[in-house]
């Protein structure tokens, strides 16, 4: 069943375009998430509808601005008219507080320096400060003297302006969260779309197409979000840890919870709280958390415990990133425990080129220019070409309208893209796409998708690099078998494997039939080393006989090449 709600058609020529967009979100949430709303939130939707348009517009303007405190004189919008008149119904509903208590920090944020010098003149003189002291000096000196929050009229009885506080931001944030499924996206998504700067794939919505199925899931998301905010503001992991919500059956929320526990663990580790860090990493349970847990145990000298955990991790089919880390940790632990060494299964072989260039300059583009020939162009593609071809071929699988994947019109990609079950849920669809590489129709499919979808947001296709000419030449030169091998590796771990690909590709359409018609080139400037994800790709290329070279550059006036 397609959505009954069309994407908003507000124009930026309409002075109330932002109100149209806001009402679209309210309508969407009201129709699709009614069972997740509290009585207060239902009342908000009903009461908003009954407000005068000027009051609706002023509320939205405040919601879209930063913070919750505003000077009334700065809420000045031509289409709204008199802000004092427009704000009166909002005050009557207690959606705006027109007498908010202001702490000294809020006072300094709202008033100009001249105003502060006027109303705090006595305190400035008593503190021995110069009347022309800077705002930061005034605050640093006077802040400790004012511990009570009071309304502006108490601070400044003859003030000609008012400071008001928006009191429904938490409701608006919750509604925005239920619409977008995250708090990262905001009202700017509408504006960018209306400007034509962002275009999105049209995916049908079903009743199951929503980010949250229960109110508890929304509460859990918000709890995790605010805990992360508090961590960023300097609160200690030991204080925040007890407030972390319990594990959720929702795999998406479970992933967010694990990420927060990892972040808490890293901060605890930085603070020297090793025992707490081990606990947090253990609760996180992610592959990165396991590796960090092992490194903490190593530093603590708990080599036997670390060895047992590392062995268990190796036997549990880890992803490539974790396997690579374990391949470094286990030999160290074996040496510490005086155990016999085990041969590593990590291999790294690649063709090496050494190149001296005038510099310094942008090293990748310098190499591309130095190696490029009219009939053998070198293109700077980094992580964009292979992933772009993958995204074009597998577009139907990536944008399959599965429950929980798309729940609003502004998705850059499926919401479950990096969940463990992303590929499993679409196994048949990905199989059908990759089968095109076997029957030879992949070129036509990729080129047709490029034409049809050009400019639409995609998590894999970076249009400025993957232009039509590059796509056509790459399809002419790169064998289908090599593409299939790379695409299957991407599907093995989309988050980790989409990075680390070589910087350049040289396309050789006129090469003899028995020679490779392309080669990938990783560039390393002076002092630069191969990263782990690059090493994994190089090992993969070696195993699949995919042509690749690493070009180590030194500048002509430098004695040392890259290592």
What pLDDT, in 10s, does the model give residues 497-507? 999 999 999 99
Query: For position 204, what pLDDT does the model report?
Result: 86
In this prediction, residue 1 has a pLDDT band, given cuts at 50, 70 and 90, of very low
Decide if domain 213-336 falls under CATH 1.25.40.10.
Answer: yes
pLDDT of residue 6: 46
What value does the mean pLDDT take over residues 224-232? 97
The band of 552, judged by pLDDT with boundaries at 50, 70 and 90, is very high
* pLDDT tens per residue, range 144-164: 999 999 999 999 999 999 999
272: left (phi over 0), alpha (psi -120 to 50) or beta: left
User: In sequence order, which residues have a C-beta less than 8 Å from that of residue 447 and are 6 or more positions away?
Assistant: 468, 471, 472, 475
SS (H, E, C) 368-414: HHHHCECCECEEECCCCHHHHHHHHHCHHHHCCCCCCCCCCCCCCCC
**Region 69-82 average pLDDT:** 96
Per-residue pLDDT, averaged over 343-350, amounts to 61
Residue 452 has pLDDT above 80, yes or no: yes
Model confidence, pTM: 0.82
Instruction: Output the pLDDT for position 303.
Output: 96
% of the chain at pLDDT higher than 90: 79
Please write the tens of the pLDDT for every residue from 5-56: 445 555 667 899 999 999 999 999 999 999 999 999 999 999 999 999 999 9
Per-residue pLDDT at 562:
53
Structure tokens at 391: 């995204």
Q: 265-323: per-residue pLDDT in tens?
A: 999 999 999 999 999 999 999 999 999 999 999 999 999 999 999 999 999 888 888 98
pLDDT in the model for residue 382:
86
Task: Report helix, strand or coil for 163.
Answer: strand
pLDDT at 409 > cutoff 90: no
CA nearest neighbour of 237 among 209, 272, 189, 200: 272
Residue 229 has pLDDT above 90, yes or no: yes
Q: Which one has a higher pLDDT value, 373 or 342?
A: 373
- Dig out the tokens for 113 from the structure: 């320096």
Domain ranges of the chain: 17-174, 213-336, 351-555
At residue 7, the pLDDT reads: 52
pLDDT beyond 60 at 563: no
**What is the DSSP annotation of 492-558?**
H-HHHHTS---SEEEE-TTS-TTS-SEEEEEEE-TT----HHHHHHHHHHHHTT--EEEEEEEETT-
Predicted local distance difference test score (pLDDT) of residue 428: 97
Q: HSE on the CB side for 298, CA within 13 Å? A: 18
Query: Residue 193 pLDDT more than 80?
Result: no
Q: What is the mean pLDDT of the chain?
A: 92
The whole-angstrom separation of Cα 478 and Cα 475 is 6
* pLDDT above 70: percentage of residues in the chain: 95
Taking CA 346 as the corner, what is the angle to CA 345 and CA 349, rounded to the nearest 5 degrees? 125
- Residue 404 or residue 381, greater confidence: 381
What pLDDT is attached to residue 320?
87
Cis peptide before 360 (omega within 30 of 0): yes
- Expressed in angstroms, the distance from the first to the final Cα of the chain is 58
What pLDDT was estimated at residue 349? 64
- Residue 546 is predicted with a pLDDT of 95
What's the whole-number mean pLDDT along residues 180-195? 81
Q: What is the rounded average pLDDT of the residues 349-361?
A: 85
pLDDT of 560 reads 56
Q: Would you say residue 195 has pLDDT above 70? A: no
pLDDT of residue 4: 38
Mean of pLDDT values over 434-445? 96
**Least confident piece of the model among 248-257, 395-404, 519-528:** 248-257
Residue 95 has pLDDT above 50, yes or no: yes
Residues 6 or more apart whose Cβ sits within 8 Å of residue 345: 327
pLDDT value at position 251? 83
Average pLDDT of the segment spanning 404-423: 89
- Which of 299, 228, 212, 176 lies closest to 35, judged by CA? 212
SS3 assignment, position 485: helix
Q: Lowest-confidence range among 54-58, 194-198, 382-386, 478-482?
A: 194-198
CA distance 117 to 141: 13
């Amino acid at each position: 069943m397609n959505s009954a709600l069309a994407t908003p058609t507000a124009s930026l020529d309409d002075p109330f375009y932002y109100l149209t967009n806001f009402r679209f979100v309210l309508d969407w949430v009201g129709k699709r998430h009614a069972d997740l709303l509290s009585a207060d939130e239902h009342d908000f939707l009903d009461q908003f509808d009954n407000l005068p348009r000027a009051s609706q517009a002023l509320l939205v303007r405040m919601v879209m601005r930063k913070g919750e405190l505003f000077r009334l004189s700065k809420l000045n919008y031509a289409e709204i008219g008199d802000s004092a008149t427009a704000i009166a119904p909002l005050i009557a509903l207690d959606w705006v507080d027109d007498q908010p208590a202001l702490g000294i920090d809020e006072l300094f944020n709202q008033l100009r320096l001249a105003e502060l010098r006027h109303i705090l003149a006595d305190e400035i003189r008593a503190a021995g400060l110069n009347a022309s002291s800077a705002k930061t000096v005034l605050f640093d000196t006077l802040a400790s003297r004012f511990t009570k929050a009071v309304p502006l009229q108490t601070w400044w009885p003859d003030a000609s302006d008012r400071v008001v506080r928006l009191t429904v931001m938490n409701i608006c944030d919750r509604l925005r969260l239920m619409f977008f499924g995250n708090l990262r996206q905001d009202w700017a998504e509408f504006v960018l779309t209306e400007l034509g700067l962002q275009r999105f794939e049209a995916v049908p919505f079903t009743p199951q197409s929503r980010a949250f199925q229960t109110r508890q899931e929304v509460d859990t998301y918000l709890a995790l979000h605010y805990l992360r905010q508090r961590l960023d503001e300097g609160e200690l992991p030991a204080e925040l840890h007890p407030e972390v919500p319990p594990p959720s059956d929702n795999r998406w929320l479970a992933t967010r919870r694990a990420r927060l526990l990892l972040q808490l663990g890293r901060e605890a580790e930085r603070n020297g709280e090793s025992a707490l860090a081990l606990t947090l990493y253990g609760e996180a349970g992610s592959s990165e958390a396991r590796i960090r847990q092992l490194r903490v145990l190593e530093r603590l000298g708990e080599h036997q415990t670390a060895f047992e955990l590392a062995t268990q991790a190796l036997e549990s089919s880890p992803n490539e990133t974790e396997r690579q880390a374990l391949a470094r940790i286990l030999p160290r632990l074996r040496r510490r425990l005086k155990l016999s060494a085990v041969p590593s299964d990590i291999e790294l072989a690649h063709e090496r080129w050494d190149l001296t260039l005038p510099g310094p300059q942008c090293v990748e583009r310098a190499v591309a220019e130095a190696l490029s020939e009219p009939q053998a162009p070198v293109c700077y593609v980094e992580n964009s070409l292979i992933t772009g071809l993958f995204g074009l071929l597998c577009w139907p699988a990536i944008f399959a309208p599965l429950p929980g994947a798309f729940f609003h019109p502004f998705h850059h990609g499926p919401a479950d893209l990096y969940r463990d079950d992303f590929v499993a849920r679409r196994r048949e669809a990905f199989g059908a796409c990759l089968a095109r590489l076997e029957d030879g129709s992949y070129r036509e499919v990729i080129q047709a998708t490029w034409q049809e979808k050009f400019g639409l947001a995609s998590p894999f296709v970076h249009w400025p690099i993957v232009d039509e000419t590059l796509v056509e030449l790459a399809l002419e030169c790169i064998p289908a078998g090599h593409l299939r091998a790379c695409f299957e590796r991407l599907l093995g771990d989309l988050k980790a494997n989409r990075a680390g690909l070589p910087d350049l590709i040289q396309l050789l359409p006129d090469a003899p039939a028995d020679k490779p018609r392309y080669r990938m080139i990783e560039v390393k400037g002076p002092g630069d080393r191969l990263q782990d994800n690059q090493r994994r790709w190089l090992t993969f290329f070696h195993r699949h006989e995919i042509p690749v070279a690493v070009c180590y550059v030194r500048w002509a006036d430098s004695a040392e090449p890259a290592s």
